[in-house]
Structure 1
Amino acid sequence: MNESQPAPRLAVVLKGYPRLSETFIAQELKALEDRGFVFDIWSLRQPYDDRTHPIHDLIRARARYLPEYLYQEPLRVLNGWRAARAMPGYAAARRVWLRDLARDRTPNRVRRWGQALVLAAEIDPAAQFHYAHFLHTPGSVARYAALIRGVEWGVSAHAKDIWTIPEWEKTEKLADCRFGVTCTGSGAAHLKALASDPAKISLVYHGLDLSRFPPPPESRPARDGRTEPVILLSVGRLVAKKGYDDLLAALGRLPAEVNWRFIHIGGGPLKDALARHATQLGLSDRVEWRGKRDQTEVIAALRAADVFVLPSKIAGDGDRDGLPNVLMEAASQRVAIVSTTVSAIPEFIGNGLEGLLVPPDAPDALAKGLAEVIGDVAIRTSMAGAAYDRLTREFGMERGIDMLEELLRTALSQPPAAQVA
């Protein structure tokens, strides 16, 4: 490249930034910067967490915020529309959006078009490729803006965005993106079945950047729930798919003589309802809701815990976990894991090997599994060691970043394909 020309740039489109619950995205962005990629971060929403993780302070990219609601910045949206109308792909993009709107007559669909107009107008002209995390709303904004500008786009799909949007939307987005990556084998199989070109879809595990985590403790107290309480820990948003209602039910079914304490880290809309449920079950004196915490505090809690439990399930709207990074974080500190067979969790945790897996929506089975690991220090030690070994052997971050780097560099080096008419 001519040294007088600007370096190729990306535009990274996210639903929200920074977010405590999306350390996998922050880890990826930092790794891409370390490999020489230059980008701005375009967020559809303003931050809502009251703190950030230490890794967010290491990311150099500028964060830009699109109008979260169009009525809040009408002049900005109007200026975006005026600028976008002069761009080569505006008419084609408008046709795509109107076709989408005819099938999805919601304010959300209108909002994504307005955000795309602003993105297309305000983006650095050197940004040659749009890369979105999540196939649903960020994918829509990245797609519309890319069509307007006559550039290409790619997407990293995860969980809710795969399982809760209609098939027509997934099929059409996959048809006109340059590539799609996803972090679970089940998600990759589903998207490949919908893609006109299945080769576009790649399985790319997020993995874990082990350099950000201390070595696991050399030993743990041999607590077995007889005298000292066994410390049960979970980290996750308080939403339906995490299954915390099932966990509370399971804890309520443990034998009275079993000594345990449960600590939860994370926020979410079900916080008050779950706290009331714990009180109704007579568990409130053994349950601690710590709320949102940064990663330094999460790691400290993992090092102090005996068992990490994540009772994931499929929510009523189809939402479900992919492969929760927090399971790998638990493995990094050699904490015994109890979880469920939902989605891609068995891709990392083999039942009885790297952890204990029970069916989702099954409090009785969960209670039985918890009772087993609470009372058997040797089983906990064995499973925790196996999970740590598998993490370090197969689920480090570098392999996934290598694959993503190749996809992005190829996209930046090739001219755009024909745009959707």
Structure 2
Amino acid sequence: MKKILVLLKGYPRLSETFIAQELLGLERAGFPLELVAMRRPTDKKRHPVHEEIKARVWYLPEYLHEEPLRVVSALWKVRKLKGFSAAWRAFLKDLKRDVSRNRFRRLGQAAVLVAEWPKDAGWLHVHFIHTPASVARYASLMRQAPWTVSAHAKDIWTSPAWELEEKLADADWAVTCTRTGFDHLTDLSRGRNNVHLSYHGLDLDRFPHFEDERPARDGSDAANPVRILSVGRAVKKKGYDVLLEALARLPEGLAWSFTHIGGGDELARLKELAKRLHIDDRITWKGAMDQRDVLQHYRESDLFALACRVTADGDRDGLPNVMVEAASQGLCVVSTTVSGITELFSNGENGLLVPSEQPDPLAASLEKAIRNPSLRIALGGAAEGKVRSEFDYHNSIRDLARLFTASFTKDGLND
């Protein structure tokens, strides 16, 4: 079987455990992989799953001016390919609608990808349908070879319709991880019906059932506050400013503490907001942590909170993997009704959901969960049951294996 060359925006990334988990699952299913990333890693830590992936990793030039000889050499080499003129025409058409340095960068990266293409790689698969898929599309046209794409959240909702339509027209198939994303891409697929829904799920071996009983904290003991946890990058779509506003509106005598795990550009601003709201003494900012440490925090906490939103440019989460992880540990989740969150959680059945951008209802749900440990246990248990029955990552690996096998058979790449 020929290798699958997997194009990634960056690798490895702490915030993209779902991708690393998928790569490992495909390797274990017998698919040989080679990874190529558009950016080098910036995280100082790695998850255990990254150490288990055997695939070779190499990197495209992140900025063309950093490796000009490599880029010029690649362009000189690929200009002779039969498909180069088609790629050039596609690039010029895109450039008219998106005049940017990024567009030139994607063409240069595609040229390097094709010029340095591994001899034993027979298929190109890309994660994210925005800029990485532009590189993949130009490379596919140059090589006159098929490609496929996994679309997720931001990449879907911040891309213009024309660009998604043309990529879906060219790609063999696309897979996405929420019903909302699936419906949107299907509407743009021009009747090809080449979009597939497959939830990421979890490697439940890494998130086994938590056997211990959680303490029945109810916010009445200042020496033993209810522990609220949130895991996620400090970026606008996570709604951490709204969450802090909601926490500040909780009754003054209610005993709670809040722990945030994750990096992100908004951290400094959020810390200042917490000070202005006079709740900074109840908050611990942990920064980025690996999966093992995050798991321990799920188990030591009473409640998980995230106030996801749709930003002005359309960016939003799909179904945040951290919420699936929290639910796998029987941890009660309080969040919003944005995007794919409602595909796992139902308000009052296995979580507490409120509209986004509304700190008052969010505060009311937080207070309800804080004061009622039996409710937290019931909602968390129901969420865990759904995760363990419907969100096992082996299901998504089977979906991908079926899609790749069918494509390889069609193109004669199984030998």
What's the TM-score once normalised by structure 2's chain length?
0.97
Could you tell me the percent identity over the aligned residues?
Answer: 50
The equivalent position to 2:68 in structure 1, one of 59, 63, 74, is: 74
- Which residue in the other structure is 2:362 paired with? 366
Q: Who is 2:229 aligned against?
A: 233
Which of residues 228, 243, 248 in structure 2 aligns to 1:247? Answer: 243
Bigger drift between 299-308 and 78-87 goes to: 78-87
How much has 1:198 moved relative to structure 2?
A: 4.3
Counterpart in the other structure of 2:214: 220
Do 1:305 and 1:335's aligned partners in 2 also have CA atoms closer than 8 Å? yes
2:124 is aligned with 1:130: yes
The match for 2:99 among 105, 113, 130 is 105
Match of 2:157 in 1: 163
Aligned 8 A contact 1:217 1:303 in 2:
no
Matched, 1:293 2:289: yes
Contact 1:217/1:333 (<8 A) preserved: no
Instruction: Tell me by how many angstroms 1:38 deviates.
Output: 1.1
Q: Distance in 2 between matches of 1:207 and 1:230?
A: 28
For residues 350 and 301 of structure 2, what CA distance do their matches in structure 1 show? 17
Match of 1:274 in 2: 270
For residues 294 and 213 of structure 2, the distance between their equivalents in structure 1, rounded to whole angstroms, comes to: 19
Give secondary structure in 2 for the equivalent of 1:130: strand
- Mapped to 2, the partners of 1:218 and 1:260 lie a distance apart of 21
**1:20-419 to 2 correspondences below 5 Å:** 20-227=14-221, 228-415=224-411
Stretch deviating more after TM superposition (252-261 or 391-400): 391-400
Question: Residues 135-173 of structure 1: CA distance to partner in whole angstroms, max 9, x if unpaired?
Answer: 001111111111111111111101111111111000000
Q: 1: CA distance between counterparts of 2:396 and 2:280?
A: 41
Greater displacement, 208-217 / 246-255: 208-217
Please provide the CA RMSD for this pair. Answer: 1.0
Q: Which amino acid aligns with 2:395?
A: R
1-structure distance, mates of 2:81, 2:407: 21
Q: Which runs of 5+ in 1 are unaligned?
A: 1-6, 417-421
Rounded Cα–Cα distance in structure 2 between residues aligned with 1:408 and 1:325 = 24
Q: Which residue is 1:3 aligned to?
A: none
**TM-aligned CA deviation for residue 332 of structure 1:** 1.2
- 1:186 CA drift (Å): 0.6
Q: Distance in 2 between matches of 1:209 and 1:296?
A: 13
Tell me how far apart the structure 2 counterparts of residues 69 and 355 of structure 1 sit (CA, whole Å). Answer: 44
Deviation at 1:316, TM superposition (A): 1.3
Instruction: Give the 3-state SS of the residue equivalent to 2:51 in structure 1.
Output: helix
CA contact (8 A) 1:128 1:152 kept: no
Question: So what's the TM-score if we normalise by structure 1?
Answer: 0.96
Residue aligned with 1:146, SS: helix
* 8 Å contact kept, 1:120–1:149: yes
Deviation per CA, 1:115-134, whole angstroms, max 9, x where unpaired? 00000010113322111110
Give the 3-state SS of the residue equivalent to 2:38 in structure 1: strand
8 Å contact from structure 1 (residues 175, 197) kept in 2:
no
Q: Deviations over 1:276-329 (max 9, x none)?
A: 000111111101110000001100110100000111010111100001111110
Tell me the residue number matched to 1:4. none
Q: Distance in 2 between matches of 1:36 and 1:123?
A: 21
The Cα of 1:262 is off from its aligned counterpart by: 0.2
Q: What secondary structure sits across from 2:107 in the alignment?
A: helix
Residue type matched to 1:373 in 2? A
Separation in 2, partners of 1:161, 1:145:
19
Aligned residue for 2:252, secondary structure, equals coil
C-alpha distance after superposition, 1:34-76 (max 9, x if no partner): 0111121111111010111010000001111100000000011
Aligned partners of 2:119 and 2:339: how far apart in 1? 40
3-state SS of 2:264 partner: coil
Matched letter for residue 196 of structure 1: R
Larger mean Cα displacement after TM superposition, 343-352 or 207-216:
207-216
CA deviations over 1:237-267 (Å, ceiling 9, x no partner): 1000000000000000000010000000001
1:176 and 1:170 map into 2 onto residues whose CA distance is 10
What secondary structure sits across from 2:149 in the alignment? strand
